[in-house]
């Protein structure tokens, strides 16, 4: 090959690879956007998701919620496999399954948090923050998603899966005194995936699991300073994620809700994953408050859809 031809290939290869990557990413995001369109916040979330951490200084600028229909039996079987419990092999199809909303919400939270994609992110976070390549707490410890006792031992290890929920009392103390001390013992919110998420509401409560996350103040202030000097975007302060599950309902063999279609019906639920981003209110920006660039927002929403798609795919192994 002549030297000039090799040089031409060398010049053309990087832009060609970039164009290919850009087009592939665009097509993938477009397919996911059609498969999992965003649903209104009034339809698939609670007020806790859409309310900023500090309403006096922040606004909730972006709210995105995605949902998918999944069989109840697959969700329960996945929960049994993840937690090592048992579930009936053949759930009844002629009547509504006797399963509580709390059970389904906890199963959805466990399934999502044990995603191989999210687990990889959690391990990298643990490697950077604690020097251990471990996903951290995902709600599978004995304490589940409940608050953790705030004593020196648990404070030092609040991102492990082996949190003790309380410390034992001295054997010489009376039972009443021990109970009083246990009740008075301070607690802190449980951290998931090596501190990436903080549990604000456990999945057993109405609305499902709610977890918050924060962007380091230093990183946020850098972008706020850039925005002050004319940069068109700035970083969010943090936000919340919510994992909700609808009521159980019946669909026919054609997927129509409560329809008279042919064949036996199936009991299903809608599983939802919601995201909300809080931004500091900057008076100088007036009504046109700055946010992250559009392409960054689209990639972030695409990542959320990928996590939902991965959870649905994994459930297919238990159906």
**pLDDT tens over the chain, length 319 residues:** 667 666 666 677 777 788 888 888 989 999 999 999 999 999 889 999 999 999 999 999 999 999 999 999 999 999 999 999 887 666 666 678 889 999 999 999 999 999 999 999 999 999 998 888 999 999 999 899 999 987 655 444 444 444 333 333 334 334 444 444 445 568 899 999 999 999 999 999 999 999 999 999 999 999 999 999 999 999 999 999 999 999 999 988 666 766 444 446 789 999 999 999 999 999 999 999 999 999 999 999 999 999 999 999 999 998 7
Residue 122 token pair: 């959690």
Let me know: does 190 contact 160? Beta carbons within 8 Å.
no
Residue with tokens 């993938």: 28
Nearest 5 degrees, angle CA 119-CA 59-CA 242? 30
Every domain of the chain and the residues it spans:
49-161+184-245+264-318
Interhelix angle for 72-83 vs 101-113, to 10°? Answer: 60
Residues 87 and 79: beta-carbon distance below 8 Å? yes
Supply the pTM of this predicted model: 0.83
Phi, psi torsion values for 38, nearest 5 degrees: -65, 140
Measured between alpha carbons, how far is 80 from 82 in angstroms, rounded to an integer? Answer: 6
Per DSSP, the residues of 152-168 read HHHHHTTTSS---SSPP
Return the pLDDT at 98. Answer: 86
The residues with which 68 forms a beta bridge, in sequence order, are: 271
* Residues sharing a CB contact under 8 Å with residue 98, sequence separation 6 or more, in sequence order: none
Cβ–Cβ under 8 Å, residues 53 and 82: no
Please tell me the predicted confidence (pLDDT) of residue 239. Answer: 97
State whether residue 19 is helix, strand or coil: helix
**Among 79, 43, 87, residue whose Cα is nearest residue 64:** 43
Of the candidates 259, 207, 266, the residue with the CA atom closest to the CA atom of residue 72 = 266
Residues 215/236, Cβ–Cβ less than 8 Å? yes
Q: Quote the CA–CA distance of 63 and 49 in Å, as a whole number.
A: 8
Pairing of strands 209-214, 148-149: unpaired
- Among 222, 235, 230, smallest CA distance to 293 is for 235
Residue 134's pLDDT is 92
């Amino acid at each position: 090959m002549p030297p000039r031809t090799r040089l031409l290939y060398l010049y053309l290869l990087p832009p060609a690879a970039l164009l290919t990557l850009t087009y592939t990413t665009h097509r993938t995001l477009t397919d996911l956007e059609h498969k999992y369109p965003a649903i209104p916040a009034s339809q698939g979330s609670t007020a806790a998701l859409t309310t900023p951490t500090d309403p006096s200084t922040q606004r909730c600028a972006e709210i995105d919620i995605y949902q998918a229909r999944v069989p109840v039996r697959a969700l329960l079987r996945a929960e049994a496999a993840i937690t090592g419990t048992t579930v009936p092999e053949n759930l009844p199809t002629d009547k509504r399954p006797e399963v509580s909303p709390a059970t389904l919400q906890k199963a959805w939270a466990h399934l999502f948090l044990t995603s191989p994609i999210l687990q990889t992110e959690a391990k990298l976070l643990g490697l950077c923050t604690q020097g251990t390549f471990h996903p951290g707490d995902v709600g599978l410890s004995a304490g589940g998603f409940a608050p953790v006792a705030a004593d020196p031992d648990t404070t030092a290890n609040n991102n492990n899966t082996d949190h003790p929920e309380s410390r034992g009392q001295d054997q010489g103390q009376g039972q009443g005194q021990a109970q009083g001390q246990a009740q008075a013992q301070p607690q802190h919110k449980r951290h998931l995936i090596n501190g990436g998420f903080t549990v604000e509401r456990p999945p057993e409560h109405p609305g499902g699991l709610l977890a918050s996350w924060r962007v380091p103040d230093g990183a946020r202030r850098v972008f706020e300073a850039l925005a002050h000097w004319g940069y068109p975007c700035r970083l969010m302060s943090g936000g919340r994620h919510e994992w909700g599950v609808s009521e159980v309902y019946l669909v026919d063999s054609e997927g129509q809700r409560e329809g008279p279609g042919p064949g036996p019906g199936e009991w299903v639920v809608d599983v939802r994953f919601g995201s909300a981003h809080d931004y500091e209110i900057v008076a100088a920006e007036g009504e046109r408050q700055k946010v992250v660039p559009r392409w960054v927002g689209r990639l972030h929403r695409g990542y959320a859809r990928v996590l939902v798609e991965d959870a649905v795919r994994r459930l297919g192994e238990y159906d």
